[in-house]
Amino acid sequence: MSEPNSSLTSNQLPAAGGDPGSLRSQALGDRAAPASTEPILFTRALTRHFGGLVAVSDVSLTLHVGEIHVVIGPNGAGKSTLTNLLSGDLPPTSGEVMFEGRNIAGCASDEISRRGIGRSYQKTNIFLPFTVFENCRLAAQSRRPHALRIFHRAERYTEINRKAEAAMAAAGLGHRADRVAATLSHGEQRQLEIAMCLATEPRVLLFDEPLAGMGPHESQRMVELIQQLSANHAIMLIEHDMDAVFALAHRLTVMVNGEVLESGTPEEVRSSPAVQLAYLGGEELLHE
Ligand SMILES: Nc1ncnc2c1ncn2[C@@H]1O[C@H](COP(=O)(O)OP(=O)(O)O)[C@@H](O)[C@H]1O
Ligand SMILES: [Mg+2]
């Protein structure tokens, strides 16, 4: 659950050029320009019904390597369902998910993971009695069974260890390798979840509210981690914390009632009359 004062419904979209030292102003200075021109993933008219409810309706969304695409919207807008459609945790009712030139809509989650789309969940998904390293090894091992058959036993072992170590380092947990997961702080457990995701060597990362429940210090660390990962991944990030949203977003999509209300650069979305009307009652809270 997000804090009331950090949710989109509470008129918290910050103005540009926030306080020196804030997440936003620190991040804007070194924000890399969006990289590749060809999208690695895009959806066409993606739709998911639950009985009579249309949780995701006709959504078109594009992800590029080097770019963080943030999806915001009030609770129940369909953000997590959209993530589930991309990760294969749910099949769409209709529409396409084009990944590296193929329609993967409806593929099982383990196949999608093997193809290179990794995700974190809103609730942590780690094995608490195991160490950080063991968790990462399990992730590296379990998600690539077919690719690893070509290795002999010893080579396979080395390869899995290498992936686990690289993932720990990339997630900033190299120094915690031998710690039992249950003894980590909440923020480090979320980092571990990201490390486990990285151990599958994804090209696309789907993060559903990775800052949930974090204090300012942990949030700052996670924002920096997500920025680092964006250099060589395509990232879809669902987030409520508006400081983090505007610190991180290269592209921003606003969902309401399963539909895309607005999508564009953060500046375009900030100045969108539709967004202002829907969330801010027309008040002048989005001024530059
Ligand atoms: N498995 C499900 N079965 C039925 N309804 C669902 C299911 N998952 C989500 N919903 C409904 O779909 C809508 C969108 O939910 P969700 O994607 O979780 O929104 P968000 O992540 O934006 O808060 C909500 O009305 C929710 O109750
Ligand atoms: Mg959600």
For each of the domains in the chain, give its residue range(s) and CATH number, in order of start.
21-28+38-116+205-288 (3.40.50.300), 122-201 (no CATH)
Please tell me which residue, 249 or 158, carries the higher pLDDT value. 249
- Ligand 1 within 6 A of CB of 185: no
Taking CA atoms only, the protein residue closest to ligand 1 atom 27 is: 76
What's the chain look like in SS3? CCCHHHCHHHCCCCCCCCCCCCHHHHHHHCCCCCCCCCCCEEEEEEEEEECCEEEEEEECCEECCCCEEEEECCCCCCHHHHHHHHHCCCCCCEEEEEECCEECCCCCHHHHHHHCEEEECCCCCCCCCCEHHHHHHHHHHHCCCCHHHHCCHHHHHHHHHHHHHHHHHHCCCHHHCCCEHHHCCHHHHHHHHHHHHHCCCCCEEEEECCCCCCCHHHHHHHHHHHHHHHCCCEEEEECCCHHHHHHHCCEEEEEECCEEEEEECHHHHHCCHHHHHHHHCCCCCCCC
Give 73 Cα–ligand 2 centroid separation in angstroms: 9
Lowest mean pLDDT among 3-7, 113-117, 211-215, 275-279: 3-7
Q: Pick from 72, 100, 91, 113: which is nearest to 239 by CA?
A: 72
Strand partners, 264: 252
Ligand nearest to C-alpha 122: 2
Q: What is the pLDDT of residues 35-63, one digit of tens each?
A: 558 999 999 999 999 999 999 999 999 99
pLDDT band at 276 (very low <50, low <70, confident <90, very high): confident
Average of per-residue pLDDT across 237-255? 95
Spatial distance between the Cα atoms of 56 and 42, rounded to a whole number of angstroms = 15
Give 6 Cα–ligand 2 centroid separation in angstroms: 15
Please tell me which residue, 286 or 193, carries the higher pLDDT value. 193
- Ligand 1 within 6 A of CB of 50: yes
Average of per-residue pLDDT across 14-21? 38
Q: How far is CA 110 from CA 19, 58, 114, 116, in A?
A: 43, 25, 6, 10
- Ligand 1 within 6 A of CB of 83: no
Whether residue 24 has pLDDT greater than 50: no
Give 121 Cα–ligand 1 centroid separation in angstroms: 14
Q: Taking a C-beta distance cutoff of 8 angstroms, is the pair 8, 256 a contact?
A: no
Please tell me which residue, 27 or 265, carries the higher pLDDT value. 265
Q: What is the pLDDT of residues 85-94, one digit of tens each?
A: 999 999 999 9
Q: What is the pLDDT of residues 208-236, one digit of tens each?
A: 999 988 999 999 999 999 999 999 999 99
Q: What is the pLDDT of residues 142-164, one digit of tens each?
A: 765 555 555 566 777 789 999 99
Q: How far is CA 194 from CA 7, 44, 113, 135, 230, in A?
A: 23, 27, 14, 11, 13
Q: What is residue 145's predicted lDDT score, i.e. its pLDDT? A: 55
Tell me the average pLDDT of the chain. 85
Q: Pick from 137, 192, 165: which is nearest to 148 by CA?
A: 137
Average of per-residue pLDDT across 170-188? 96
